[in-house]
Amino acid sequence: MTMQRAAAATRAPGRPRSEKAEKAIIEAALDLLAEGAGMSDLSIEAIAHRAGVGKTTIYRRWPGKEELVLDALTTLKAPVPDFGELSVRDALVSYLTFIQHESDHPRTRCIMNIAMSERERYPSMVERFYRLAIEPRRIALRATLQRGIDNGELRPDLDIETAMAAVTGSMIYFTKWHHGNELPADLPERIVDGLLEGFKAG
């Protein structure tokens, strides 16, 4: 029993790493990213200075920028919403509203920026980030659409993959190319209703 306690109590000798420093580093990295820095502009030195931390303290924890940014971004991972109670139409509206709200805040907006723009240069980082933060949403969205098919709200022969692309892609398109300062509040409804109805006449 004593041995068990000793075994349980075993931890690395020496001063333990400061959680405070770790948080400050993540915060600093997110701040800088939110201020518009891309991966290349984001310097370890700037992060360290902003966090009030020595560079060593960063390199002790992460081998490089890539891994640090991955950790920083995943802390922003919002919980996947649960649309169990809503109609499929309302669930999709909620889903897009959720995305729209994210793109209003600099911190969460930078998530998608990084994920979309740095894929070619940091494929493994983006890939891992995708699995942690994007995939769960896709699964939730897919489940919602499947539920719509199952309960008769949606066409039984609906191509779920292209439907997902249409829903999410529409929103991305607007957040990227909308030329005003803010997206209209009823955008999610307009998108969803337009897609449900289809383009064809008659």
Q: 111 is written with which tokens?
A: 């998530």
- 195 binding a second copy? (CB under 8 A): yes
The contact pattern for a second copy, residues 99-138, with x = CB under 8 A and - = no contact, is: --------------x--xxxxxx--------x---x----
The burial of 51, by beta-carbon neighbours within 10 Å (0-12 exposed, 13-18 middle, 19 or more buried), is given as buried
Stretch that binds a second copy, among 22-30, 69-77, 97-105, 174-182 (CB under 8 A): 174-182
- The DSSP code sequence of 81-127 is P--TTS-HHHHHHHHHHHHHHHHHSHHHHHHHHHHHHSTTTSHHHHH
Q: How far is CA 94 from the centre of its chain?
A: 16
Residues in the chain: 202
Stretch that binds DNA, among 3-11, 104-112, 157-165, 185-193 (CB under 7 A): 3-11
Note the residues at the interface with a second copy (CB under 8 A). Answer: 36-41, 113, 116-121, 130, 134, 145, 148, 152-156, 158-159, 162-166, 168-174, 176-177, 187, 190-191, 194-202
Return residues touching DNA (CB under 7 A): 5, 8-18, 21-22, 24, 43-46, 52-57, 59-61, 64-65
